Amino acid sequence: MRVGLIAALRDAESGERRASLMLAGRSVLAWQVALLQSLGVERVLCLCDRRDREVLQLQHMVEAGGAAFHALQGFAAIPALVRSEDDLIILHDGLVPDPTVVRALVGAGSELQRMVAGIPSDHPLATTYPEDFERIDAARHWAGLLVMRGKPVQQLADFPADADAISVLLRLALQAGTPCRELTADNLAPESWLLAESAAAVVRHEQALIAAAAGPADWRVPSAALAGRLVRALAPRGLVQGGLIAGSVALALLAAAVLIAVFGAAFAALGVAALGSFAARVSLSYASLSAALRRVEARPRAGDVLKAGADLLVAANLWFALAPWPEWQPLAVLGPLTIGMARLTERSTASPVLAIASDRVCLLCALALATAANLLPEAIACLALGLLAGLLLRGRVD
């Protein structure tokens, strides 16, 4: 079994627990738990002096995923929870390393490489925070990460209750012959090896994470680029609930737009639908940024549901914009048909024209202008033909 050991005991410069500082929408402690779970840990041990709300929430989350979580107010129980044949992964209190760097050091497959991560004695982390990155030999200090066998853990029972459990385990791992691996300068860059010693350090790290996760804006889809810029400016405050709020607003606006179109106010309906589509873009940008920060590769299902629901409402909006209730015009089918072809264009970004045409916000704004000029049917017909031609030409190129 793989067991992870973390701690929520040390205070930041501001006086609050390092583990409780918020980094990109979740606490430092939650980042550590996520890293341990990505390494296949089945049991998480957390040393803490109180079971606060953050610890309890993490316990419920870990246990809901099928793993075990133990909040310990002392290390007396650790020898009973770590068997001799187990692998114990230890993260220092307040340390948030890049998971990519950690996996490169210890692996994440069927076998973990047991090791003590080290940094040179003259490294700024070692000279500035010697109590956190303690010396392990004449030339190196501990980097805050180690993987050891479970057998030496049994010796913890011989130490007094007021001892520093993680420091003792580090010494036991070294005495047991666990090899040292020195981190490179790239691995120890501030954006990949964070010690949450202050709120300011966490904010700087947070900004670097968000900038890297957001990536460059693609102005071929203007609404997506603007939504991405807005989300990046608002993050991390809205990372937890921002996507949900924006998605709810989007569906409410799009549903209202359909009702407005039913009563014949096509221009107002298309304008409200454009706002709703932009809100949907904001929600999807929040979801994309959150997934990138958490290094989740799978597409969120909620995002696909939102996109499908938004397109369904936009299609209904265009139908009633062409044929308000209770009129019936067969050519109203051009509205849903246009949205369907716009969805198809999203499967390829080879043509900038197709990429722009797939932007719902731009599409609805253009149709609103056409409505003001009493040219809505003609505009939708031309748009449908243009999308069809683009799709056919793309098929020939492919």
- Spell out the domain ranges in the chain: 2-206, 218-397
Identity of residue 84: S
pLDDT band at 367 (very low <50, low <70, confident <90, very high): very high
2-206 to CATH, choices 3.40.800.10, 3.90.550.10, 3.40.50.2300, 2.60.40.10: 3.90.550.10
Q: What does the H/E/C string look like for 126-182?
A: HHHCCCCCCECCCCEEEEEEEEEECHHHHHHHHCCCCCCHHHHHHHHHHHCCCCEEE
- Pick the residue with more confidence: 163 or 107? 163
Instruction: Look at residue 397 and tell me whether its pLDDT is greater than 50.
Output: no
Q: 120-160: per-residue pLDDT in tens?
A: 998 888 889 998 999 998 889 999 999 999 999 999 988 98
pLDDT at 395: 57
Express as a percent the part of the chain with pLDDT over 70: 93
Q: What is the pTM of this model?
A: 0.75
pLDDT, the chain, mean: 87
First to last CA, the chain: 49
pLDDT at 151: 92
Q: 227-266: per-residue pLDDT in tens?
A: 988 888 887 777 768 888 999 999 999 999 999 999 989 9
Q: 282-334: per-residue pLDDT in tens?
A: 999 888 888 777 765 445 577 889 999 999 999 999 999 999 888 888 889 99
Beta strands in the chain (DSSP E): 2-8, 22-23, 26-27, 43-48, 68-72, 87-91, 95-97, 115-120, 140-149, 180-182, 193-195
Q: 171-219: per-residue pLDDT in tens?
A: 999 999 999 998 887 777 766 888 998 888 888 888 877 877 777 777 7
Query: Which residue pairs from 288-297 have beta carbons closer than 8 angstroms and sit at least 24 positions apart in sequence?
Result: 289/210, 289/213, 289/214, 289/228, 289/231, 289/232, 289/235, 289/239, 290/25, 290/239, 290/243, 292/213, 292/214, 292/215, 293/24, 293/25, 293/209, 293/210, 293/213, 293/239, 294/34, 295/38, 295/99
Q: 58-89: per-residue pLDDT in tens?
A: 999 999 989 999 999 888 899 999 999 999 99
CA separation, residue 338 to residues 125, 237, 352 (Å): 58, 37, 18
pLDDT at 392: 80
pLDDT at 328: 80
Which whole number is the average pLDDT over 370-390?
Answer: 90
Instruction: Report the C-alpha gap between 236 and 226 in whole angstroms.
Output: 17
